[in-house]
Structure 1
Amino acid sequence: MTGEGRGWHGGGVTPRDPALLRRSAGAPSEVTVPVGPPEKPGSEGEHALQCAYGTEERADRFYAEQVRGRLLPAMVEFVRRMEMVFVATSDAGGECDASLRSGPPGFLAVLDDRTLAYPEYRGNGVHASLGNISENAHVGLLMLDFERDRIGLHVNGTARIVEDADFHAEHPGVPHDPAPGRRPERWVVVHVEEAYVHCRKHIPQMQRVPLRRSWGTDDPARKGGDYFGAKDAR
């Protein structure tokens, strides 16, 4: 089911039309070169800067060869083995937030080649990402493989928030997480509009270290406490 279906917050947002076309507020004022043709993926700003910096040919080749409006089979396999995803959102006024979501392999559910979902576990109660989605359903997801292939996947699209019970009623095939403290409260369902590779050139090689996680805790010390000394700072 895509973003036009059931769910609250983020529903009713019109997907980009045509697919792969992003509209922005325009290029920076100092860039006066013509904006690229509207049928290309990307924003007017990036098209203008491609003209200004002489990268149009390279960008057009990337658009043509790598940017797709759905999850290809290799992308589906990649998503299903990921244990983290970086989530970029902004509110209705364009104020941005970037956050991290993580879980065991498979915590990212691929519902079909144009729809994926990730769970929202118990957190600090701020709901920064969900609050943004409730105002502006456009989201950007970045998944990175630091261990095996050192490669990344971008997914851009529109999101809606669905309560856990409603989500499983819509998608009974998605398993319930049996781990205590890791039961989703709700899900973010993303309708895919763009999917493309992230270059491995600057992705560091990392090695897994076994780690016990306190999934259900509200103990400040076990969650990281006042690591940055913010409590007494003004």
Structure 2
Amino acid sequence: MLTSDEFYTEAQRQLQARHDSVKLADVVVQAIVRDEIEPPHVPFIESRDFFFLSTVSAEGEPTVSYKGGAPGLVKVLDSRTLVFPNYDGNGMFKSMGNISEASKVGLLFIDMETPNRVRVQGTATLSADDPELDGYPGANMLVRVDVTACFLNCARYIHKHTRVAQSPYVPNEKGEQPFPSWKRIDLVQDALPARDAGRAAAEGGIISFDGYVEKLMDGTS
């Protein structure tokens, strides 16, 4: 179990004092913050088909990324370890690059229908040959997180949504997925990795950037 001094920073403590919430913050840590994933949180985390991942660079520059997939996207291996895949993206590797040099991560799991949410903090590593990678067809690497904190979070500001459909870009059991529209943009054709070079013509043809934006705005990208 984490103590308040272990969980909060000095700056957080100063703001708690300024807003008369030191006692409340202490009670919250005692009540819900743990240094491991407790059994009630496991099915919730493993049933999610998306989560938000926060990372920082070695210089402290932050970024946050939406990570989506099929239900079971994240696997809890034990109370202090979880894993998730990295799928084909836009080639920037912002989150994965940050993990490789700074390792600190935050994961936010949200159920927009109930609503409910769980937050996880930890230290992450990347691997292209982790045995768990076999469970994620189409993934190019696996992220393994050593959990340092896990806690429920108040859901009162979560707007209730209804899930309509899974993204068609989630890799199937063979690791196959549709060719994304952004890889058809004329500006990127000479910069695509070898595995994607020349595919646009057979995947609907090359489009302009403005054409892609139109697809993005009307939900057909």
Short-chain TM bin: 0.7 to 0.9
Question: Which residue in the other structure is 1:154 paired with?
Answer: 119
Identical pairs, percent: 31
Q: Partner residue of 2:102?
A: 136
Deviation at 1:212, TM superposition (A): 5.2
Aligned counterpart in structure 1 of residue 130 of structure 2, from 167, 174, 182: 167
Note if contact 2:75-2:82 (Cα within 8 Å) is conserved in structure 1. Answer: yes
The alpha carbon displacement at 1:44 in A equals: 1.5
Q: In the aligned structure 2, how far is the partner of 1:88 from the partner of 1:76?
A: 20
Q: Which moved more, 1:197-206 or 1:213-222?
A: 213-222
My pick for the range that moved more, 149-158 or 211-220, is 211-220
Name stretches of at least 5 consecutive residues in structure 1 with no aligned partner. 1-18, 22-36, 230-234
Match of 2:148 in 1: 193
Tell me the alpha carbon deviations over residues 162-193 of structure 1, each in whole angstroms, 9 at most, x when there is no partner.
11xx212xx4xx7634xxxx611101111000
Q: C-alpha distance in 2, partners of 1:184/1:141?
A: 19
Question: TM (normalized to structure 2)?
Answer: 0.76
Q: 1:47 aligns with which of 13, 28, 38?
A: 13
Amino acid of the residue matched to residue 202 of structure 1?
Y
2:53 aligned residue (73, 82, 87): 87
* Aligned-partner Cα distance in 2 for 1:120–1:227: 27
Give 1:156's aligned amino acid. Answer: Q
CA spacing shift, 1:195–1:227, aligned 2, 3 Å:
farther
Instruction: Determine if the alignment matches structure 1 residue 122 to structure 2 residue 88.
Output: yes
SS at match of 2:11: helix
The structure-2 alpha-carbon separation of the partners of 1:116 and 1:51, relative to structure 1 and needing over 3 Å to count, comes to same
Q: CA RMSD in A?
A: 2.5
- Relative contact order, higher structure (CA 8 A, sep 6+): 1
Indicate if the aligned counterparts of 1:176 and 1:183 stay in contact, CA closer than 8 A.
no
Match of 2:139 among 184, 200, 206: 184
Is 1:219 paired with 2:219? Answer: no
2:69 aligns with one of 93, 103, 115: 103
User: More deviation in 55-64 or 216-225?
Assistant: 216-225
- The answer to whether the 8 Å contact 1:150/1:205 transfers is yes
Task: State the SS of the aligned residue for 2:213.
Answer: coil
Once the 2 structures are TM-superposed, how far is the Cα of residue 221 of structure 1 from its aligned partner?
A: 7.6
Per the alignment, residue 74 of structure 1 pairs with 40
Secondary structure (helix, strand or coil) at the match of 1:134 reads helix
1:20–1:42 CA contact under 8 A, matched in 2? no
Stretches of structure 2 that go unaligned for 5 or more consecutive residues are: 171-176, 186-210, 217-221
For residue 51 of structure 1, report the CA deviation from its aligned partner.
Answer: 1.0
Give the direction of change, closer, same or farther, for the CA distance of 1:205–1:137 in structure 2 (3 Å limit): same
**Which residue of structure 1 lines up, in the alignment, with residue 192 of structure 2?**
none
2:177 equivalent to 1:207: no
- Once the two structures are superposed, what CA deviation does each residue of 1:144-165 show, in whole Å capped at 9, x if it has no partner? 0111x311111000000011xx
Question: Which SS does the other structure have where 2:130 is aligned?
Answer: helix
TM score, norm. by length of structure 1 = 0.72
Give the 4+ runs in structure 1 shifted more than 2 A: 174-177, 221-229
**CA spacing shift, 1:146–1:113, aligned 2, 3 Å:** same
Give, as a single letter, the amino acid of the residue that structure 2 aligns with 1:196. F
Q: CA deviation at 1:64?
A: 0.5
Shift of 1:56: 0.5
